[in-house]
Structure 1
Amino acid sequence: MDFAFMMAEQRIKDAIQKGDLDHLPGKGKPLKLEELSTVPQELRMGYKILKNAGYVPEEVQLKKEMMSIQDLIDLCQNPEEKETLKKKWTEKSLRFNSLMEKRRMSSSSAFGMYRDKIYKKF
């Protein structure tokens, strides 16, 4: 564990012992966790900030559209319409995979370039 983590943990424990956290809204209720498992760990905070600002990244929008199209495909009875929906899903899937591949390549190289500089700042 690093020093900052240990200090944060100690401050949280002190606040709990003092009772500073007893009157927070939502106390005793389960946390509402967001599903960010598909987002690389180093990008999650940025995504959360963008989401709070009302911006949805293109890959998230594509993933939602793909899920909606898949639901329509599952319910569709018309073979021609089903084929059209499958083509749309394939187009969205290709675009999504392309974006994710670019993201993997750029995030690993971009982060790698600045990783040492970032760690030195801490």
Structure 2
Amino acid sequence: MEKVLLIAIPQAEQVEQLAVKQHLRAVHIQPSAYGQSIGQLAGYAVPADAAGTAADELPPTGLLVFCGLRNSHMDRFLQWLRHAGIEIPHKAVLTPTNQHWTVFQLAWELERERRSLNQ
């Protein structure tokens, strides 16, 4: 099933409503689960990568992770977020690489990428 992981998103209820309208499953990730791998949080049997750099905190706008979405659904969902005025700069798609990362490792990588693009 296509799903989105909502991690520390201030407007989580609004994002969930948009997801439901698109028949996407919205999964709220609790802070107690941040040490699990993104793959585990998406429902796969994937261990967390114990190695790697991790952030100490998450961005204030949270993280949004797309799991198994078709491109057309992702494009439509992103468009609906824009129209609703919801900004979530830290977004990712579940990949074979990041499925082993913890929430903090993913946050660190997304922030690193954002900073390199803004230089």
Q: What TM-score results when the alignment is normalised by the length of structure 1?
A: 0.23
Between Structure 1 and Structure 2, whose CA radius of gyration is higher? 1
Q: What TM-score results when the alignment is normalised by the length of structure 2?
A: 0.23
Q: Which has the higher strand share?
A: 2
